[in-house]
């Protein structure tokens, strides 16, 4: 697999990973944005490449809430036409802020994310081996993820997740 495919797969993995950072329509007293994420999810979407081509994505995720809801561990697996992705991460929520560390096992990549959460949206800045931004919009039992990076060969990723 060429370096372009590895970079593209890693960016897809980052997009999927941080989609787990939101899903609750409103924060109740003492609640966190991770409150409704525990369990299994499935999603589909696409990655748009710099040359204009796109590939469809199919994803599955399993999320476990810890520490009274302020921590979330997740395992996500995605497949596109040309790549398989195996992502693991730990995220933390505190006073409207989300932060965490991610790693992609197949390609040996890792990095951090920081951002803020409101009841219907989370915005994150991705750092580490990839640089970019992410927006997660929450709408009931689904959430839509939009990611952009400045990396070569890749423009954006969009995925919609629902329970499954």
* pLDDT for 128 beyond 60: yes
**In this predicted structure, what is the pLDDT of residue 14?**
47
Q: Regarding the domain delimited by 3-163, which CATH topology (the fold level of the hierarchy) does it fall under? A: Lipocalin (2.40.128)
Which residues does 15 contact at the CB level (< 8 Å), separation at least 6? Answer: 47, 134, 145, 147, 157, 159
- Quickly state the pLDDT bin for 151 (edges 50, 70, 90): low
CA geometry: angle 21, 27, 33, nearest 5 deg = 15
Domain residue spans of the chain: 3-163
Q: Per-residue confidence at 50, pLDDT binned at 50, 70, 90? A: confident
């Amino acid at each position: 697999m060429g370096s372009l495919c590895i970079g593209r797969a890693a960016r897809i993995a980052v997009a999927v990973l941080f989609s787990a950072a939101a899903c609750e329509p409103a924060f109740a007293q003492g609640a966190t944005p991770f409150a409704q994420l525990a369990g299994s999810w499935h999603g589909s979407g696409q990655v748009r490449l710099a040359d204009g081509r796109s590939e469809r994505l199919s994803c599955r995720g399993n999320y476990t809430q810890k520490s009274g809801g302020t921590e979330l561990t997740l395992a996500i697996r995605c497949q596109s036409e040309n790549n398989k992705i195996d992502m693991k991460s730990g995220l933390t929520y505190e006073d409207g802020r989300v932060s965490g560390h991610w790693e992609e096992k197949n390609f040996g990549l890792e990095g951090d994310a920081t951002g803020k959460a409101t009841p219907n949206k989370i915005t994150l800045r991705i750092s580490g081996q990839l640089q970019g931004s992410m927006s997660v919009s929450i709408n009931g039992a689904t959430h839509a993820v939009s990611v952009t990076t400045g990396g070569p060969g890749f423009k954006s990723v969009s995925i919609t997740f629902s329970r499954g």
